[in-house]
Structure 1
């Protein structure tokens, strides 16, 4: 849990702050191994970006909800485009959506990335034959968040209590740690149909999403 703090600096010597974070890494490996690994990279990684496993990231409900939010946005757009398409014609559609993510307190994702962004970029082809429009396309999801520390706040870390976030900022200023970019990418395909029906019956639209297996690097 993050709380507003009154001190913008810890007032403690840098070696003591280094010891605090090193002990946090050692003590957190059994409880939150991914969070401990990323904190260690913050201390040792010289600022190199880190690619996160899509499988681990998508195991959190808040990530899947953000993904579904962007999927629904594409689906609504494609349904509108399908209605405008004339018989025997086709069209290409491209767009991008961003979904902001706030991790739930107490989850391991919270200790890795409290606030992040999922950017979904999609390209689709629509073909109409009579009353039916067939849709196919690909969406590339890019999750990212800078791993950095803000001043003037505190975070509760199991076994360590409330730790001022200013610790991380002071370690960066002392060149004992480096901020870095966390990111993850995965690809999905979409297939669907939009069927026009004469009034008073309503049209019907159906979409199916599938994940593309890619090697995590």
Structure 2
């Protein structure tokens, strides 16, 4: 039986049956050997092994470099835009109103990407605040959306994960290290802000109205 198959089978067991120092050495070796190929994944695993449990803020540039993150962002954009278009149709001439709401988008990272090894499943929460003002057939819209990406870093979901150079690593390895106080779960998060400007124009029957929106990323303040 090959080592790869042994690791796969261990993934179906609740415990590995291996000494804790051996499990810790396995994760330490993953950190060391992943520095060049997956530096962010190595960094968060190293933080897990430090055992402090402090939350870790990830780079928004790194996070938004993945298509699944941008896709979740656009999904919440569309949700806000539909809300704003509906609200604009109800607004009387000369009136203004506020719209405040939030949307959550679930994220599943693609296998083989570095994001997968950092966070397989996560959530993007987008909190929006907008003002709408009507002047005749046109409604001006402006507002801000604060995005909060987060995911608890733990080894509690699934049976195993395939890690290059190490094969199938049982999820129970991480659980046993936490139980033995050799590692600690922690919260990963990242925040960024976008502004929205737009115009909703009424349409004459039977044509529908038109809405145009533009999103801009707010640059992070330098510290």
Q: Shorter chain as normaliser: what TM range? A: over 0.9
TM-score by length of 1: 0.96
Cross-structure match for 1:21: 27
Check conservation: 1:53, 1:216, Cα contact below 8 A: no
Moved over 3 A (4+): 2-5
In structure 2, C-alpha distance between the alignment counterparts of 1:122 and 1:3, rounded to whole Å: 46
Cross-structure match for 2:129: 123
Alignment of 1:203-214 (within 5 A): 203-214=209-220
Check conservation: 1:6, 1:152, Cα contact below 8 A: no
Q: Structure 1 residue 215: deviation in Å?
A: 3.6
Alignment of 1:100-119 (within 5 A): 100-119=106-125
Note closer, same or farther for the CA distance 1:202–1:80 as it changes in structure 2 (3 Å cut).
same
Q: 1:69 aligns with which of 75, 78, 89?
A: 75
Structure 2, gaps ≥5 residues long: 1-7
Alignment of 1:24-39 (within 5 A): 24-39=30-45
Q: Structure 1 residue 66: deviation in Å?
A: 0.4
In structure 2, C-alpha distance between the alignment counterparts of 1:4 and 1:195, rounded to whole Å: 61
Check conservation: 1:24, 1:36, Cα contact below 8 A: yes
Other structure's SS at 1:64 match: helix
What is the aligned length?
216
Q: Structure 1 residue 214: deviation in Å?
A: 1.2
